Amino acid sequence: MQNRTTVTEFLLLGFSDIQELQILHFVFFLVIYLAALVGNLLITTDMALNCNLHIPMYFFLMNLSILDLGSISVPVPKSMANSLTNTRSISYSGCIAQVFLLFFFTSADIALLTIMAYDHYVAICQPLHYETKMNRRACVQMAASAWISGIINSALNTGNTFASTFCGGNTVDQFFCEIPQLLKLACPDTYLSEVGFLLFGVCLALGCFVFITVSYVQIFTTVLRIPSEQGRHKAFSTGLLHLTVISLLLCTATFAYLKPTSSSPSGLDLMVAVLYSMVPQMMDPIIYSMKNREIKAALWKMTGLRLFTRNKMSAFLPSPWSHSMFLYI
């Protein structure tokens, strides 16, 4: 039988033992992290301070930016610090915190993206019912359900993972504590229960993806009837970019959690982890916000710049919580 030892810390995967490559890794992660940090902070601050942006679409975008900030802040700073200090260790409690927070932010992110797809669908396909279905109370309840579902899902998976006894050492073949890599270290008799929870979570994520895809198919079908060619082009380009980022997050995360884990670390595992834990969080502010002229005008105004002066805030609707199809197209 394998020895059952008490693990007090874990050793994370280092990108390289060469100092120059460690510095390169630090700079690369720093650029991505700062881009995500600045973009999401600007969007969150702008939407919180500008009452003209207090409508459902921007309310959900603010929640998404907060989740993205949390998600990318869980694995990246620790990995950068390890590269600078030439260490690989993370405490047992630190590993628990990483697993819980990353799973929470990612689960809530997926739930919120599903809600946003529904919001887009109602706004474009059922505009006459929009104010009834997406009133202030309904939006707050939807956003709260996304956060609560993330907490519950994360608590169940984190609790089951660390209820395991680790027989396979303490070396995690990833640059952060990831459940599939931790399960490689778990004893066989405690492995199956967590695999069941993971499969259930993946099925929920795939269900969200199917819902999002069907929603956008309906949206594109409706957009085809728009007489304005420019409006159709903008709606299609924005919708396809949304689907690209959602697909990147869901497909890479699903692949990471369902792929059979190998006995040795691989470059593919590392690349997939970077794709789902860093890239969508950096791209969301650009795709969901920076392509929107109302948000760009508000950002320029907030930062003191005066571009878009010709139609500064004229695009906003007079009622803070009223909504219209044109905001999406």
Give yes or no for residue 160 having a pLDDT over 50.
Answer: yes
Tokens standing for 125?
């396909």
pLDDT at 282: 87
- Give the mean model confidence (pLDDT) for residues 44-53: 75
Most confident of 105-119, 284-298, 313-327: 105-119
pLDDT at 261: 64
- Cβ contact 280:248 at 8 Å: yes
pTM of the shown model: 0.83
pLDDT at 151: 94
Give yes or no for residue 287 having a pLDDT over 80.
Answer: no
- Give the mean model confidence (pLDDT) for residues 135-145: 92
Confidence of residue 148 (pLDDT cuts 50, 70, 90): very high
DSSP class of residue 166 equals: B
Domain ranges of the chain: 14-327
Average pLDDT over the chain reads: 79
Confidence of residue 309 (pLDDT cuts 50, 70, 90): very low
Confidence of residue 240 (pLDDT cuts 50, 70, 90): confident
Give yes or no for residue 313 having a pLDDT over 50.
Answer: no
Confidence of residue 45 (pLDDT cuts 50, 70, 90): confident
* H and E: helices and strands count for the chain: 12, 2
pLDDT at 294: 60
pLDDT at 206: 84
- Give the mean model confidence (pLDDT) for residues 45-72: 83
pLDDT at 97: 94
Confidence of residue 195 (pLDDT cuts 50, 70, 90): low
- Give the mean model confidence (pLDDT) for residues 278-300: 71
Chain centroid to Cα 190, Å, comes to 29
Tokens standing for 168?
């396979």
Task: Provide CB contacts within 8 A for 189, sequence distance 6+.
Answer: none
Tokens standing for 102?
């990353």
Give yes or no for residue 98 having a pLDDT over 90.
Answer: yes
Tokens standing for 287?
């795709």
Q: Assess if CATH 1.20.1070.10 describes domain 14-327.
A: yes
pLDDT at 104: 94
| Sign of the four-CA dihedral 110, 196, 251, 215 | negative
Give yes or no for residue 302 having a pLDDT over 70.
Answer: no
Helix, coil or strand: residue 135: coil
- Cβ contact 204:21 at 8 Å: no
pLDDT at 321: 44
- The set of long-range contacts for 97-100, using a CB threshold of 8 Å and a minimum separation of 24, is 98/74, 98/176, 98/177, 99/154, 99/157, 99/158, 99/161, 99/162, 99/177, 99/178, 99/179, 99/182, 100/154, 100/155, 100/158
- Give the mean model confidence (pLDDT) for residues 263-271: 71
Query: Side chain identity at 66, as an amino acid letter?
Result: I
Tokens standing for 154?
């994360």
